[in-house]
């Protein structure tokens, strides 16, 4: 079986082989040398991804370990990339783990729900700018993460003064091209659901999209 690498909870590259995890020890000229995370068994990996294991492990393999690392890595990524509440992100991942797993191994080896929520809240605070409480606290220019769609496409069209007030206009290039080809645009504004540091949120769409379709600019 060829070498499979995973990322530890601390972001370190590890070897995952036949249910055993190994820490990186050193790089040789044409190979890498690894030591089991639980015992003194060692492994050598080669550029063709072949693995040679030396010494017997003093414990049983744990197949769920790599899956758990994968779930934790995906949760960390989601906690900064998604804007949704951490509670929902964690609960959804735990429900999926529960459904996928034929045994209860996955859930029993994951940290308890409330601890995972705390870990991810801390991770989000460290990696995302704080929520501004006044318009003056809103950074200029806006951090890149707030100027792109989930596909990485540019989303912020304008950030500047309109009638003397800082105003932001968001839309993707594709939506603007679509709007440019439409004869009629529809717009609506609300004072109630916009974030509290702003006065008003306005969104708009084309005649084609106005019946239950999504907004094309904000």
Interacting residue ranges for Zn ion, rule: CB under 5 A? 36, 38-39, 41, 57
Interatomic CA distance for residues 173 and 158, integer angstroms = 13
Nearer to Zn ion, 17 or 72 (CB): 17
Which residue, 29 or 60, is less far from Zn ion as judged by CB?
A: 60
Instruction: Compare residues 55 and 173 and give the one whose CB is closer to Zn ion.
Output: 55
Q: Least distance in Å: CB of 12 to Zn ion?
A: 17
**Residue whose Cβ sits closest to Zn ion:** 36
Query: Among residues 37, 53, 56, which one has the least CA distance to residue 45?
Result: 53
Cβ 11 to Zn ion shortest distance, Å:
22
* Minimum CB distance to Zn ion, residue 35 (Å): 9
The tally of CA atoms less than 13 A away on the side-chain side of residue 180 is 7
Q: Which of 195, 137, 200 is nearest to 167 (CA)?
A: 200
Closer Cβ to Zn ion, 56 or 214, answer by number: 56
**Nearest approach, Cβ of 197 to Zn ion (angstroms)?**
54
Q: Classify each residue of 174-188 as buried b or exposed e, where b means 16 or more C-beta atoms within 10 Å of its C-beta.
A: ebeebbeeeeeeeee
Least distance from C-beta 64 to Zn ion, angstroms? Answer: 15
Looking at the Cβ atoms of 36 and 97, the one nearer to Zn ion is 36
């Amino acid at each position: 079986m060829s070498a499979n690498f995973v990322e530890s909870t601390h972001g370190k590259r590890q070897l995952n082989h036949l249910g055993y995890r190994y820490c990186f020890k050193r790089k040789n000229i044409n190979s890498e040398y690894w030591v089991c995370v639980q015992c003194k068994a060692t492994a050598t990996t080669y550029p063709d991804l072949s693995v040679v294991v030396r010494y017997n492990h003093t414990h049983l393999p744990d197949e769920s370990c790599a899956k758990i690392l994968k779930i934790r890595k995906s949760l960390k990524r989601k906690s900064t990339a998604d804007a949704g509440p951490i509670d929902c992100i964690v609960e959804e991942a735990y429900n999926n783990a529960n459904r996928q797993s034929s045994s209860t191994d996955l859930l029993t080896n994951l940290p308890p729900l409330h601890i995972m929520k705390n870990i991810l809240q801390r991770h989000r605070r460290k990696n995302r700018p704080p929520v501004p409480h006044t318009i003056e606290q809103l950074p200029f220019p806006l951090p890149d993460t707030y100027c792109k769609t989930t596909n990485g496409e540019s989303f912020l069209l304008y950030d500047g003064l309109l009638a003397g007030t800082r105003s932001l206009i968001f839309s993707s290039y594709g939506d603007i091209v679509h709007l440019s080809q439409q004869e009629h645009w529809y717009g609506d504004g609300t004072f109630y659901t916009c974030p509290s540091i702003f006065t008003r949120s306005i969104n708009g769409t084309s005649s084609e999209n106005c019946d239950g379709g999504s907004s094309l600019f904000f």
